[in-house]
Structure 1
């Protein structure tokens, strides 16, 4: 056997072992991803009839062998959100399951093949939808109708108290909720401009543009009028979105919150929220609900509006990698455990 043949065989062995090592590492990574994205609960697709339409939902139940469970009904924030929020809800559902609670969520109308159009809904429409889901759940033998509560984020802050006014609920978890639509919009605008380091001139122009939009809304202007007022540039606005805003821009939760008096409420606020004025939200919640002694406020200084860690959310790469390899680590420290602890005994811990 010549030296050239020996060299080729040695090179082949090295290549084979290198490939094997790569495959082992790849298999290990796949295993980690599958393990990290497996949750200790059972999931099933469900259908809920409401208003001539079908809500396409997911019911996640604990694997604890019990015949009946309490239930957390999820009310989405703004945007075209599906039942699992692109799997983002699953770590929260698992925390609920650990506390002995099932979780129910559904695709917004027009999302993931669902009928309808969520942009055609008012906050009252959304409350009616959630109330119908609760009625459906109460009819199930595996759900304890005396332990059904609500979870809602951001825009859901205008929906949660409306639901409670329509049907009895045992508790409410409000995550980054706003109080007044217009005030929240102005706060978000200014916070985003500060974060961008906008000049005084740019800030003044942005406020003037916002004020112009408010005047158009107040006089019930059409989408076509909005576009003309913008010099023909819709600036990302669509006709459906304009109608949605026109239908809901007067929303204010202050009076509706009275429906939550006496109900255990967990108010969750983030330290880096540029969408919602958390100081104003806490002030109003305390003013309306504190007298009943059932309000619990939890603040997460390292969290953004979505309750993700700021250090992760500010990087798209970090967000993607964490979502793939360690999705539970996306959320602010203590957030998932805090939700579980509240569910284990909603009537305690008020502060």
Structure 2
């Protein structure tokens, strides 16, 4: 495996890493899109190192596939301000990155797969629906639920997992977490600026307006290439039942995988699902079953399995 810096041209330019396998090119490739918020090319946040796209890149290289992962706007080596980027801006960035990857001489531009985790799965859905020239799409913890409904669903899942003192305070205040989330949605919908203050915090209001209004099912219905969708049975941020919606909505062939005990971090968690266990999970790499499923599917959909591995 070898890794090189790669800059995605455009405004703003995006800093990334091209990872190549130890096999002669041009080879098939996978464009990796991280989740929401200020994540770098490895899917790392300054407070939480997810490492999803890094682990995927290294697993793909071992399986004979190249990959590109990149820093989002205003993160790592990419200029800009992530708080001012809407969901559609992030999708535009993914399409630009796809062009940069497909143009590389080491890469077979006709055999490129889009793969995204969480928000990245939505971006991959949006790009594929626009007609991006790809061989397939991988949706890791990807939603098929409208944004406003999804955030209310998350509140219902997360509330019982909060620490007892927090639940006690909410009870004393007669506070309904889902209702508070819905109220914040209305405040965000009423904003007109890229950045706004909600609950005393500066948030990316433009992204939230886009997300609240976005229904992935419309774009899923326009995907014309094979899809692999993977979600965990203990995901508190995306319903595992959305796998059935994806399979029923995408007109092209769909392979779904629901992994028991897997959380939104793509690691396994024993016991009741809880956000509090995330930090412990992140000391481990991405789940091996997930990595094997993605690499095997990508090899098949790009035709690499028809060629003897180097």
- Short-chain TM bin: 0.7 to 0.9
**Change in 2 beyond 3 A, CA 1:338/1:169:** same
Offset of 1:212 from its aligned partner? 1.9
Query: Is residue 213–residue 226 contact of structure 1 (8 Å, CA) maintained in 2?
Result: no
**Change in 2 beyond 3 A, CA 1:209/1:143:** same
- Number of residue pairs the alignment of both structures matches: 287
Distance of 2:74 and 2:16 partners within structure 1: 13
**Change in 2 beyond 3 A, CA 1:61/1:182:** same
| Structure 1 spans left out of the alignment, 5+ residues | 1-40, 228-232, 324-329
- The partner residue of 2:181 within 200, 210, 227 is 210
**Change in 2 beyond 3 A, CA 1:203/1:260:** farther
Kindly report which structure 2 residues correspond to 1:1-351, keeping only aligned pairs within 5 A, or say none.
Answer: 41-51=1-11, 53-64=12-23, 66-86=24-44, 87-164=51-128, 165-179=130-144, 180-196=146-162, 198=167, 201=171, 204-220=175-191, 233-234=199-200, 237-238=201-202, 240-261=203-224, 263-279=225-241, 281-289=242-250, 291-292=251-252, 294-311=253-270, 315=277, 318-319=280-281, 322-323=283-284, 330-346=285-301
Higher helix proportion (structure 1 or 2): 1
Distance of 1:224 and 1:318 partners within structure 2: 32
Query: Is residue 73–residue 151 contact of structure 1 (8 Å, CA) maintained in 2?
Result: yes
Offset of 1:136 from its aligned partner? 1.7
Offset of 1:343 from its aligned partner? 1.4
Query: Is residue 216–residue 226 contact of structure 1 (8 Å, CA) maintained in 2?
Result: no
Distance of 2:262 and 2:176 partners within structure 1: 30
Query: Is residue 247–residue 256 contact of structure 2 (8 Å, CA) maintained in 1?
Result: no
Offset of 1:194 from its aligned partner? 1.6
Q: Who is 1:326 aligned against?
A: none
**Change in 2 beyond 3 A, CA 1:308/1:77:** same
Offset of 1:140 from its aligned partner? 1.8
Offset of 1:76 from its aligned partner? 1.5
Distance of 2:176 and 2:42 partners within structure 1: 39
Distance of 2:33 and 2:174 partners within structure 1: 33
Offset of 1:335 from its aligned partner? 1.4
Q: Secondary structure at the match of 2:73?
A: coil
Q: Secondary structure at the match of 1:93?
A: helix
How high is the TM-score relative to the length of structure 2? 0.83
Distance of 2:196 and 2:187 partners within structure 1: 8
Q: Determine which structure has more spread, i.e. the larger CA radius of gyration.
A: 1
Query: Is residue 58–residue 83 contact of structure 1 (8 Å, CA) maintained in 2?
Result: yes
- RMSD over aligned Cα atoms: 2.7
**Change in 2 beyond 3 A, CA 1:318/1:162:** closer
Offset of 1:203 from its aligned partner? 7.5
| Structure 2 spans left out of the alignment, 5+ residues | 45-50, 304-310
Q: Secondary structure at the match of 1:45?
A: strand
